[in-house]
């Protein structure tokens, strides 16, 4: 089976983890700082706070922002559940924004419309959580102009985007946002099993998150070497030395991972070109060089004369795994009960046609040729849906 994604673990990774298992620290030890320092170097930021997973990274930053009941956070609807849920964990309400129907990315105009809806509903917008989707990035320069003009904190969800460049800087450099959150789940570009991190250039924000992830405990040696105090409610959001050892080893290969993903994306683009306009490769944003996590194409399933479910089943029968990223979060039962029916045509249009094809560094070129060949067989273009017969001939 060719899955849509998978981790890449080698002997160096295994040795790194084994070394920790043979040492004195399994949980809070020296590998955590080493991992954080490596993240800072890769993202060109001053501070990195590693934590137990990507959802926690979002939650930690939200708490450190001071988000609370009575606040609202603007979140694009095309994202994983965690982006919106993190705002709710803080007690804040979620104002879902629309996205570009072709890329699935939030635009500055989408943020402006969401801000207007907040005003109309009497909500108090305090933050925005833009999402770098599939590895492609939002135009953070434009987003930040709108956000800062309204006094919003900015937390970028970069779970898909480590290793990419945005406006000529590494993703996570926080040149235009207050903080940036990453995920190291096995299907992501690097893996720590589970794990996440927040980058920031704000010393106070970093210190707050470090304290929060460890029950808000602060040592008080003047009262005794054993003493500590907890002035506010904290959490056990720590990452382990075992996970960080794996993360350090994986980061050493990040450049190779990203380069190979870019090669595979270029090959997909070339081989899938004859299937246009029924199948379209992801549009490329000129202001970023993606560290591709997903290869999400858009398919006009009506023109292809097949449902998405049947299309995915046909590929699965040939040993090819696919996935849909994502069901718009505003349509989830929890959020529909809370906020009612919301119309976001860009998000809904993107969702109706998107499909993620296999993408990971150990995927071979011949695998891509096989996948594209099976896609071509599965798509049946209706003659009347083509502007001419060229689409039919190509298929």
Has residue 131 got a pLDDT over 50?
yes
In the chain, which residues fall in CATH 3.40.640.10? 11-253
- The CA distance from 256 to 102, in Å, is 28
**For 11-253, CATH number?**
3.40.640.10
Residue-wise pLDDT tens digits, 149-178: 999 999 999 999 999 999 999 999 999 999
If phi over 0 gives left and psi between -120 and 50 gives alpha, with beta otherwise, what is residue 382?
A: beta
pLDDT score, position 226: 87
Contacts of 338 (CB under 8 A, 6+ apart): none
pLDDT 10s digits, 50-59: 999 999 999 9
- Which pLDDT does position 390 carry in this prediction? 42
**pLDDT of the residue at 294:** 98
Given a contact cutoff of 8 angstroms between Cβ atoms, the answer to whether 204 and 197 are in contact is no
Say what percent of the chain tops pLDDT 90.
93
The per-residue pLDDT for range 262-310, each reduced to its tens digit, is 999 999 999 999 999 999 999 999 999 999 999 999 999 999 999 999 9
* DSSP state letters, 203-248: HHHHHHHHHHTBTTEEE-GGG-TT-EEE-S---B-PPPHHHHHHHH
List the one residue out of 265, 299, 264 whose CA is nearest residue 378. 299
Beta-carbon contacts of 214 under 8 Å, excluding residues fewer than 6 positions away, are: 28, 234, 236, 237, 238
Indicate if the pLDDT at residue 393 is higher than 70.
no
pLDDT per residue as tens digits for the range 352-365: 999 999 999 999 99
Q: Which helix (H) or strand (E) holds 388?
A: none
How far apart (Å, rounded) are the C-alpha atoms in residues 160 and 168?
A: 18
CATH 3.40.50.1100 fits domain 255-394: no
Instruction: Give the bridge partners for 94, in sequence order.
Output: 73
DSSP per-residue string spanning 46-64: SEEEEES-HHHHHHHHHHH
Whole-number Å distance between alpha carbons of 258 and 39: 15
CB 269 within 8 A of CB 372: no
* CA-to-CA separations, 192 to 28, 49, 244, in angstroms, rounded: 15, 14, 7
Provide the percentage of residues in the chain whose pLDDT is more than 70.
96
In terms of pTM, does the model score above 0.75? yes
Pairwise CA distance, residues 234 & 10, whole Å: 36
**Contact by Cβ (8 Å): 90, 334:** no
pLDDT at 35: 98
Tell me: pLDDT of 67 over 80: yes
Instruction: Say whether pLDDT at 370 is over 90.
Output: yes
- What is the helix (H) or strand (E) element at residue 34, kind and residue range? helix 30-43
Which of 52, 56, 105, 111 shows the shortest CA–CA distance to 294?
105
148 touches 43 (CB < 8 A): no
- How far is the C-alpha of 309 from the C-alpha of 173, rounded, in Å? 39
Start-end ranges of CATH 3.90.1150.10 in the chain? Answer: 255-394
């Amino acid at each position: 089976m060719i899955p849509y994604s998978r981790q890449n673990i080698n002997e160096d990774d295994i040795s790194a983890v084994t070394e920790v298992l043979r040492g004195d620290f399994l949980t809070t030890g020296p590998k955590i700082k080493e991992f954080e320092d490596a993240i800072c170097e890769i993202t060109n930021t001053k501070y990195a706070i590693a934590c137990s997973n990507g959802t926690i990274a979002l939650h930690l930053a939200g708490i450190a922002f001071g988000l609370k009941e009575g606040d609202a956070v603007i979140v694009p609807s095309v994202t994983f559940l965690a982006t919106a849920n993190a705002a709710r964990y803080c007690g804040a309400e979620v104002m879902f924004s629309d996205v570009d129907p072709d890329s699935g990315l939030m635009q500055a105009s989408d943020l402006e419309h969401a801000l207007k809806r907040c005003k109309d509903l009497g909500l108090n917008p305090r933050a925005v959580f833009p999402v770098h989707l599939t590895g492609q990035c939002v135009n953070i320069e434009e987003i930040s102009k709108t956000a800062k003009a309204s006094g919003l904190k900015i937390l970028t969800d970069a779970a898909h985007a480590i290793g990419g460049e945005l406006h000529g800087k590494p993703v996570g450099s926080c040149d235009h946002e207050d903080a940036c959150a990453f995920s190291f789940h096995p299907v992501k570009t690097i893996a720590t099993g589970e794990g996440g991190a927040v980058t920031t250039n704000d010393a106070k924000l970093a210190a707050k998150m470090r304290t929060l992830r460890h029950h808000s405990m602060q040592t008080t040696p003047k009262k005794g070497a054993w003493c500590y105090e907890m002035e506010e409610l904290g959490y056990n959001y720590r990452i382990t030395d075992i996970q960080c050892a794996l993360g350090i080893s994986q980061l050493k290969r990040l450049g190779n991972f990203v380069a190979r993903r870019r090669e595979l994306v270029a090959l997909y683009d070339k081989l899938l070109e004859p299937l246009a306009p029924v199948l379209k490769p992801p549009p490329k944003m000129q202001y970023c060089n993606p560290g591709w996590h997903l290869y999400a194409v858009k398919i006009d399933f009506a023109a292809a004369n097949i449902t998405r479910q049947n299309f995915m089943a046909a590929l699965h029968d040939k040993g090819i795994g696919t996935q849909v990223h994502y069901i718009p979060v505003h349509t989830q039962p929890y959020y529909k009960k809370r906020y009612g029916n919301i119309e976001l045509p860009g998000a809904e249009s993107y969702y109706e046609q998107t499909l993620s094809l296999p993408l990971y560094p150990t995927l071979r070129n011949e695998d891509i040729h096989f996948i594209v060949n099976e896609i071509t067989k599965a798509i049946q273009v209706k003659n009347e849906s083509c502007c001419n017969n060229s689409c039919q001939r190509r298929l």
